[in-house]
Amino acid sequence: MGWVPEELDAVIHAPARLRVVASLAALGRGDEVAFPKLRKLLDMTAGNLSTHLRKLEDAGYVRVTKTHEGRVPATYLSLTETGRTAFADYQAALMDLLKGVQG
Amino acid sequence: MSDPTSDRPEGTGDAATLDPAETLRLIREQQAAARDAMEPDGRLLYGVWGLAWLIGYLCMWVSARDTGAPEVWAGGVFSGSIVGAMIFTIVHTTTRTAGTRGVSARVGVIYGWTWFLAFVALGVMLGAMADAGASPEVMAVAANGFASLIVGLMYIVGGLLFCANQMSVVGGWMLVTAVGAALAGMPHTYLVMAVAGGGGFLVMVAVEQYLRRRRGSSEPASARAEGGGLGA
């Protein structure tokens, strides 16, 4: 099929994490989204989302900021520059594969 | 739960079943959903302000055309339209951006307050002009011209702040409207505000819809350049 997953970033190339990264990439640089808002947007369970976020954080793609709003703990997520670059490269690799398939 | 195999990045689970085209489509759809959840919808904001200006200023024009100056009922419709659009803008924007923080949120708060302060200042200045003996005609020309001037400058600045060129174009058009409203004189200054101002906003509803559709179909081509987008 010309579909060679080895060419693609394995950290991003999983539907759930791809959706996480795509959503965070829609944020402006310097912006963060709260965990509950992201969870609702993705319609994932908190545990599942946490697992994927940890993998992305370990890869250096996602920044997890833990803070307090009043007395309530809050967690904010954003893409790192590394994450943005990796996502851009991933999309470019997809485009190359697509061209390969069509051509 | 949506992807039980994804804990094994090296595995060939769900991901391998998606071909590149499907994956790119998934990205586009997810980013559109993310923007809808986190950013105000330009179509709604332009639509609400377009209607508010069109209805409000048309009533002012109709009423002023008949009697030389707007009547109380027209002033009421106008004020109601503007206040309604303001409330909608504040509720819509705060609802959409709730749960996000950072540069855009800080800029957005200052931008919102600047609108408010500019129009408070305009109100005070118009009051002072009336006290100093300005005629209703002078008041109407000044109110419409200065209001469009503020709107024009704020949209140009907004376009720069939020990286939205179309917003700066609206601002430029509103400066044209300001000049037109000032030159038209009574009572046609209100007609210029309704048609050029309100109509300009309503044209933007179609422009936003077009940009939205284009972004939804061509984003992968510019993926590397955008790196996932600069935001609003």
**Predicted confidence (pLDDT) per residue in B70-110, tens digit:** 999 999 999 999 999 999 999 999 999 999 999 999 999 99
| B100: nearest CA partner in chain A | A33
Q: Which of B30, B34, B231 sits opposite A29 (nearest CB)?
A: B231
Q: Count the domains in chain A.
A: 1
In this complex, do A14 and B230 lie within 8 Å of one another by their Cβ atoms? no
Distance CA A86, CA A12 (A): 8
Instruction: Tell me what pLDDT residue B66 has.
Output: 81
Residues 67-126 of B with CB under 8 A from A: 98-105
Q: What is the CATH number of the domain that holds A41?
A: 1.10.10.10
Domain span at A40:
5-102
At B41, the pLDDT band (50, 70, 90 cuts) reads very high
> Looking at beta carbons, which residues of chain B come within 8 Å of A85?
227
Higher pLDDT, A69 or B150: B150
Number of Cβ within a 10 Å radius of residue B189: 26
**Domain residue extents for chain B:** 35-216
Q: Is there a contact between A91 and B27 if contact means CB atoms under 8 Å apart?
A: yes
Which of A43, A76, A95 has the CB atom closest to B223's CB atom? Answer: A95
Encoded tokens for B213 = 């559709």
On whether any CB of chain A is under 8 Å from the CB of B230, the answer is yes
Per-residue pLDDT tens for B174-205? 999 999 999 998 899 999 999 999 999 999 99
* Higher-scoring residue by pLDDT: A54, B229: A54
B41 phi and psi angles, rounded to 5 deg? -90, 110
Query: Which of B3, B229, B232 lies closest to A14 in CB terms?
Result: B3
d(CA B40, CA B69): 37
* Contacting residues of B for A50, CB less than 8 Å apart: none
Q: Give the per-residue pLDDT at A9.
A: 87
User: A85 in the Ramachandran plot: left (φ > 0), alpha (ψ -120 to 50) or beta?
Assistant: alpha
Task: Write out chain B residues lying below 8 Å of A37, CB-based.
Answer: 37-38, 98-100
> ipTM for the complex?
0.89
**Contact assignment for A26 to B226 by CB distance below 8 Å:** no
Do the Cβ atoms of B53 and B194 come closer than 8 Å?
Answer: yes
- Residue A53, min C-alpha distance to chain B (Å): 11
Amino acid at site B7 = D
Of the residues B12, B26, B30, the best mutation for testing chain A's interface (the one with the most A CB atoms within 10 Å of its CB) is B30
Q: If you measure CA to CA, which chain B residue comes closest to A51?
A: B7
